[in-house]
Structure 1
Amino acid sequence: MITLNDYLYSGDTILRILHNYIHDLRAEAKKTHNEVDMIHCNFLILIRELLEHNDFLTAQSQQIREFYKYMSREYPFLAFTFKGRIKSLIRAEEKFNGYVVEYIYDYYTEHGEYPPLADLKNRLSCFRDFIAYRIVISMPRCHLKSEADREQEELKYLYQIANVLPGFLEERGFTAESAHGVRKSGSPLLNEDVKPYYRDYIHGTDSDGYQSLHITFYDNSSRSYMEVQLRTKTMDDIAEIGSANHLGYEKKQESERARRDAIPKGECIYFDEAYERGMKLLGLELSKLDVNMFSAVNNSLINDGCGLYRGRLILPYEHLSRFQNDLID
């Protein structure tokens, strides 16, 4: 079985690793008639093309910057940040294999049989967050009558911004994608005409405390999808360094994927291979990898300039309330 791990000790660049992994995985898929591995190859090709031919990101980020300028005019009293990133190779590979494992496991436990290949292939066609932007807002204390007002004030403005975003970007060549009923918002603060596009993780919080609004757009110029997340600073802190941080998310995923005993080994090659690839990735010791331009002391202290682990930042903007300093003695 071909795995990404086999290519992470060669000293090659990310693009060279992707080229070799795709080539060998495709050859193996043709030899074994593995249709999921062929989809896997197409998935990796998309990542390679994003890293190789990313001139479109300049035009795309310029349109996002226009919304940043709009917010600066409309909400001068808010502090906010805009960030964008391309999903990293390891994260993308984890997600692909995780989708295979989770879909087959859920289907098998519910129906007592494995899903039709067509259903599995359809599940694997829904990657929309290779490119993602995040808008994080905060209401400075100097604009609040009381700290107790912060949550409601920030929610009010967050949903106002969410109501405007789809129309704003659609005028600039983007198309909002339907969320297909996933986490449809029940909030009265979100307009009815935009509710079908948002996945609302705020109204009805998950047990881990994660909160965010997610919306997907299709960029008609670059012919690619992008996801936009909207959060308050408190929500972002919880997601990044609090109870819902990505490490906690990964541990949750690890425990879910570890339910190996539920699927008899050898009965479903798609599950077996995706499970093994996922477990190998979760067990990586980053300090031992030999990837050009990548250096890691351990799994926490990492210098990655090529999108191997954390992903490449493509849009950093920060706006501080222009009145904030004027109102503080």
Structure 2
Amino acid sequence: MITLNDYLYSGDTIFRILRNYTNDLRTDAKKTGNAIDQIHCNFLIQIRELLEHNDFLTAQSQIIREFYKFMAKKYPLLAFTFKGRIKSLIRAEEKFNGYIVEYIYNYYKDHGTYPTVEQLKERLSCFRDLIAYRIVISMPRCHYKTKEDAERAELEYLYQIANELPGFLEERGFTAEPAKGIMESTSPLLSEEVRPYYRDYISHRTSESGEEEYQSLHLTLYDNCSRSYMEFQLRTKQMDDAAEIGPVNHLGYEKRQQEERSRRDRIPKGENIYFDEAYERGMKLASLELSELDVNMFAAANNSLINDGCGLYRGRLILPYEHLSRFQNNLID
């Protein structure tokens, strides 16, 4: 079985690693008739094209910048950041194989049989966050008497921004994708017009265990110019800190996901090749010692592409904007 791990010690650039892995995987898939590996190859090609930072990403980020300028004018008291990233190769590979393991496991648990190849293909057509943008807002506490008042104002502003974002981007060539009832918002701050498009992890934040949970607003859009999907995440600084460096940080989330996907007590080895291969690829990636990888971080794929190593296990940044509130700017002056 061919795995990404086999190519991470060759001293090649990330683009050559992707090319060689994809070509060998496709050759093997044709030989064995493995339809899911064929889907896997197409997924890897999509990742490679994104990591090459094609011109459409520059055009896309310029449109996002227009919303940044809109916010700077409409909300001068707010501090906020705009960030964009392309999902890293290792994380994308983990997610692809994790979806296979999770779907087959849950299907077998519920039905006692395995899903068809067509059902599995449909499940693997749901990648919408390979390109992701994040807006994080903060209200300087000097504008409010108490911390609680500032946090309440932040939340109101966050939903105001959420109400304006879909329409703003739809006027510029994007289409908001319905969330199909997943994490449907119960907040009165979100307008009825945009409610069907958001997954609201804020109004659903309560935990039976009493533990703090992930909070964010998620919106998926389709870029009609580049024919690609992207995801927007909207958070307050407190929510972002909790997700990035706090109790619900992404590393903790990944560990929980790995634990959930590592169970194969219900799936006997050898009964489902798609489960077996995805499970093995996922476990190999989980055991990677990143410091020992041999990837050429500086050679260029060609004269127009500079490969600095970003995109292997850290997402490639495509948009960094930061806006200080009027109060903070006054301090600087």
Structure 1 length-normalised TM: 0.94
Structure 2 counterpart of 1:299: none
Q: Deviations over 1:225-283 (max 9, x none)?
A: 11110000000001000111111011101111121212111101111100000000000
Structure 1 residues 166-187: Cα deviation after superposition (integer angstroms, max 9, x where no partner): 0000011111111111111111
Structure 1 residue 55: Cα displacement = 1.0
Q: Aligned equivalents of 1:326 and 1:49: distance in 2?
A: 43
* 1:324, distance to aligned residue in structure 2 (A): 3.2
The number of aligned residues is: 320
Name the structure 1 match of 2:311. 307
Shift in CA distance, 154/197, structure 1 to aligned 2, threshold 3 Å: same
User: Equivalents in 2 of 1:32, 1:307: separation in Å?
Assistant: 30
What is the aligned partner in structure 2 of residue 209 from structure 1?
213
Displacement of 1:326 after TM fit? 3.8
Find the counterpart in structure 2 of residue 272 from structure 1: 276
Q: SS where residue 327 of structure 2 aligns?
A: coil
Over residues 51-78 of structure 1, what are the superposed CA-to-partner deviations in whole Å (9 max), with x where a residue is unaligned? 2351111110000000000000000000
CA distance 1:288–1:167, shift in 2 (3 Å): same
Is the aligned partner of 1:103 residue 2:107?
no
Unaligned 5+ runs, structure 1: 295-303
- Matched ranges for 1:61-100 at <5 A: 61-100=61-100
2: CA distance between counterparts of 1:65 and 1:87? 20
Contact 2:295 2:309 in 1 (8 A): no
Q: Are 1:23 and 2:27 an aligned pair? A: no
The aligned amino acid for 2:76 is P
Give the match's secondary structure for 2:81: strand
Contact 2:215-2:239 within 8 A present in 1 as well: yes
Match in the other structure for 1:181: 181
Preserved CA contact (<8 Å) 2:296 2:309: no
Please state how far the C-alpha of 1:323 moved relative to its aligned partner.
Answer: 2.0
Following TM superposition, where does structure 1 have runs of at least 4 consecutive aligned residues deviating by more than 6 angstroms?
Answer: none
Residue 230 of structure 2 aligns to a residue in which SS? strand
Q: For 1:226, give the aligned amino acid.
A: M
Partner of 1:238: 242
Q: Structure 1 CA distance, aligned partners of 2:195 and 2:18? A: 38
Aligned partners of 1:230 and 1:81: how far apart in 2? 10
1:131 is displaced (CA, Å) by: 0.7
Contact 1:142/1:324, CA 8 A, preserved across alignment: no
SS in 2 for 1:132: strand
8 Å Cα contact 1:238/1:244 also seen in 2: yes
Shift of 1:151: 2.3
1:85-138, CA deviations, whole angstroms, 9 ceiling, x for partnerless residues? 011100000000000001111111111111122111101001011111000001
Q: Distance in 2 between matches of 1:104 and 1:265?
A: 13
* 1:133 alignment partner AA: Y
SS at match of 2:279: helix
Q: Quick one: distance in 1 between partners of 2:70 and 2:274?
A: 47
Paired position in structure 1 for 2:302: none
Q: Secondary structure at the match of 2:265?
A: helix
Paired position in structure 1 for 2:304: none
Q: Which residue of 2 aligns with 1:249?
A: 253
CA distance in 2, matches of 1:182, 1:148: 29
User: 2:321 aligns to what?
Assistant: 317
SS at structure 1 position matched to 2:137: strand
Match of 1:10 in 2: 10
For 1:204 and 1:176, the matched residues in 2 are separated by: 21
Question: Is the contact between residue 142 and residue 327 of structure 1 (CA under 8 Å) also seen in structure 2?
Answer: no
RMSD (CA atoms):
1.6
In structure 2, how many angstroms separate the alpha carbons of the residues matched to 1:83 and 1:305? 19
Residue identity matched to 1:37? D
2:229 match = 225
Using the size of structure 2 for normalisation, the TM-score is 0.93
Note if 1:170 corresponds to 2:174. no
1:324 partner SS: helix
**Alignment gaps of 5+ in structure 2:** 299-307
Rounded to whole Å, the distance in 1 between the matches of 2:17 and 2:293 is: 12
Cα distance between partner residues in 2 of 1:99 and 1:200: 22
Query: CA offset at residue 327 of structure 1?
Result: 7.5
